[in-house]
Structure 1
Amino acid sequence: MINPVARWRRQLRGTFSNNSPTVPQWERDLEKGDDAGYFGPDSAAWSVHGSMTTLVAGIQALLIQALHPGALAGVHDHSNFRTDPLGRLASTIQWIFTVSYGDTRTAQQATTKVQRIHGYIRGSYTTNAGEERPYAANDPELLRWVHLAFTQAFLSAHGAYGGPIPGGPDAYVADWAVAGALMRVPDPPTSVSELTAQLAAFTCELRCDARTREAVAFIRHPPLPRSQQAGYAVLFAAAVAALPPVYRELLHLHPPSLGPVPLPVRIPTRLVLAVVQWGLGSPGPSETAARARRLRLGMQDAPSKRG
């Protein structure tokens, strides 16, 4: 009989790997390849994406992205997130970690696969001006919004609950601009000031309607195992607390409080993240595979200090 801790750890790993009983093969395959990849151990991308703050960032990115009616229409009309949320999560994680830790060829192939899937995602939505507008998942401006929301969320979550970033926040924005360029986002931001300016340009297009509220309700209460629900509630509160005020107000979300008194978020969040890190192990299999590839190629990296 599996003891309760082992069962919990297996369920936890399954949440991020579509219930795979072992480390997914694609993560093991990141050890293959003939170059260092786009990023390395000293990069801002590895620092942020190797941190547990990605759990908060992922929630926040979904909340921000849901404010754009075109992006949300694609998810609503074509995604199976309601019936297979873990599958969608696993696919997103695979692309992020492949670009972050894989060699350049593997990262490019993974991106091409995403773009091919996006090619089937088309439809229409109503703008805030009442105009019917066609959308396509590979539309450069919708891709820009998704990229900006992702970058903002991962940066703000790490700033609130993580450690220092090598080179600072600008270095992370510049690193992840590489992913934006792979996805054919025109002129992705390479600094925090550029990120802020590009996000501001979308403000008039954003709204919170019935479809947005439905998405937020799902993000707030996803179908997770009971053993993960309390921890997830803390992480959702952490994502809301770290949201830029403009998005929090649009979504009608509020940081946890007891009447007018704000409740502490940082300490419970860091505690939950530490427990999850213990459950999953650190460094993760993607980083471990990338380090093995780099070692095979003769790159002498310092050991990971996470854990």
Structure 2
Amino acid sequence: MFNAATYRTTDYGFFGPDSVSWKLWTAPTAVIGFQRSVVLEHFDASLAAAVADMGGIYSDPQQRLDATLAYFVTVATADSKTAIELSEHLMDVHARATGIEPISSRRYAANNPSSQLWIHITGWHSVLKCYEVYGPGPLSVEDERRYWAESRIAAELQTCDPADVPRDRDEVRAYYERVRPGLCVSERALRGMHYLLRPDGDRASLQLKAAARLIGPAAVATLPAWMRELGGFDQSALLDVAWKVPTRLAVRASQQPWMSEKVIAPFSPLTSQVLRAHRRAGEPVAPEVVTPADARERYGSVNRRVG
């Protein structure tokens, strides 16, 4: 559904040029944050079951991961027509992802609001965390407030309640503490997390294998000890420190947008195209920011299927 020619023609989408979302989701650190978030996704038992049953990360890992990262960047930077149509398509795909979660023997649905909230918070928080650790550093208090406000707008494209999205880092910590007792791992969840950190087999390209092995330790270094221990992918403090310096240097070297596009193109070609379309887009027909509700009324549906 990606079309570079119409990427941002109707309006500035949901955030606009001065938004914090544009800055963070198009930064080189977003790639590290993305790997961090897809690993954390597996702590939700329903999502781990859905990923395992659909099998996309094993049958075509590069396409599956590339399309997911491109989706997040598109929602952040494309016009409202492109973003809403893509989000409606993804919701339809997720509506078919249902089955039995083997730990509880209960039925799962990928569009379940609590699972979607976990995806949303871990995704947006991971991108922020990696921007702080490997990029320019912590946001100002005002920019952080704006970032989480924009995150609640993006949550309107999912089945979760935007009011449940944290408003600042204190609420993020409170959310993690609240859901922590319900997080778990299974054999299939562990397989998924470790595969995402170190893809192997014939289906994973050499480019993806190399990128994941370079980015993985940097992503793990930003995680709290309890997550690393629960997932069985903890690493030494020495490796944390050793990986941070070259990662920061690599991020600094790829700060120019055109360089960032070239760096990720071998293992994430669609995302590279999205970033290029974002960089080259001119002023839209209506140079304004719109709400997801307005966009859905114009271009989408009101269908919110849970599955």
Q: TM-score range by the shorter chain?
A: 0.7 to 0.9
Query: For the structure 1 residues 190 and 107, does the alpha-carbon distance in structure 2 shift closer, same or farther, using more than 3 Å as the test?
Result: farther
Deviations 1:113-132 (A, max 9, x none): 011111111112145xxx42
How far did residue 292 of structure 1 move? 5.5
* Equivalent residues of 1:157, 1:242 under 8 A apart: yes
* Structural mapping, 1:133-148, within 5 Å: 133-148=106-121
Residue 236 in structure 1 maps to residue 216 in structure 2: yes
Aligned to 1:269: 247
How far did residue 257 of structure 1 move? 5.0
TM-score normalised by the chain length of structure 1? 0.77
Task: Letter of the 2:105 partner, please give it.
Answer: E
* Equivalent residues of 1:31, 1:291 under 8 A apart: no
Q: Point out the structure with the larger helix share.
A: 2
TM-score normalised by the chain length of structure 2? 0.77
Query: For the structure 1 residues 262 and 197, does the alpha-carbon distance in structure 2 shift closer, same or farther, using more than 3 Å as the test?
Result: closer
* Equivalent residues of 1:170, 1:190 under 8 A apart: yes
How far did residue 178 of structure 1 move? 1.5
Aligned to 2:128: 155
Task: Letter of the 1:240 partner, please give it.
Answer: V
Residue 60 in structure 1 maps to residue 41 in structure 2: no
5+ long unaligned stretches in structure 1: 1-23, 301-307
Task: Letter of the 1:271 partner, please give it.
Answer: L
Aligned to 1:250: 230
Task: Letter of the 1:250 partner, please give it.
Answer: L
Counterpart pick for 2:16 among 40, 55, 58: 40
Task: Letter of the 2:175 partner, please give it.
Answer: Q
* Equivalent residues of 1:71, 1:142 under 8 A apart: yes
Task: Letter of the 1:201 partner, please give it.
Answer: R
Aligned to 2:283: 295
How far did residue 72 of structure 1 move? 0.4
* Equivalent residues of 2:29, 2:130 under 8 A apart: yes
Residue 219 in structure 1 maps to residue 200 in structure 2: no
Distance in structure 2 (CA, Å) of the matches to 1:50 and 1:279: 9
Task: Letter of the 2:143 partner, please give it.
Answer: G
Aligned to 2:182: 205
Aligned to 1:29: 6
* Equivalent residues of 1:67, 1:208 under 8 A apart: yes
* Equivalent residues of 1:52, 1:273 under 8 A apart: yes
The share of aligned pairs that are identical, in percent, is: 23
Counterpart pick for 1:171 among 108, 122, 146: 146
Task: Letter of the 1:241 partner, please give it.
Answer: A
5+ long unaligned stretches in structure 2: 264-271, 289-307
Distance in structure 2 (CA, Å) of the matches to 1:218 and 1:42: 37
Distance in structure 1 (CA, Å) of the matches to 2:282 and 2:94: 32
Query: For the structure 1 residues 133 and 48, does the alpha-carbon distance in structure 2 shift closer, same or farther, using more than 3 Å as the test?
Result: same
How far did residue 144 of structure 1 move? 1.0
How far did residue 235 of structure 1 move? 1.4
Task: Letter of the 2:119 partner, please give it.
Answer: V
How far did residue 252 of structure 1 move? 2.6
* Equivalent residues of 2:261, 2:276 under 8 A apart: no
Give the match's secondary structure for 2:152.
helix
Distance in structure 1 (CA, Å) of the matches to 2:208 and 2:95: 35
Query: For the structure 1 residues 271 and 108, does the alpha-carbon distance in structure 2 shift closer, same or farther, using more than 3 Å as the test?
Result: same
State the structure with bigger RCO (CA 8 A, min sep 6), 1 or 2: 2
* Equivalent residues of 2:62, 2:208 under 8 A apart: no
Distance in structure 1 (CA, Å) of the matches to 2:254 and 2:211: 9
Task: Letter of the 1:218 partner, please give it.
Answer: Y
Residue 100 in structure 1 maps to residue 76 in structure 2: yes
* Structural mapping, 1:111-150, within 5 Å: 111-127=87-103, 131-150=104-123
How far did residue 58 of structure 1 move? 1.1
Q: How many residues align?
A: 271
Deviations 1:120-172 (A, max 9, x none): 11112145xxx422111111111111112112211211111112546333322
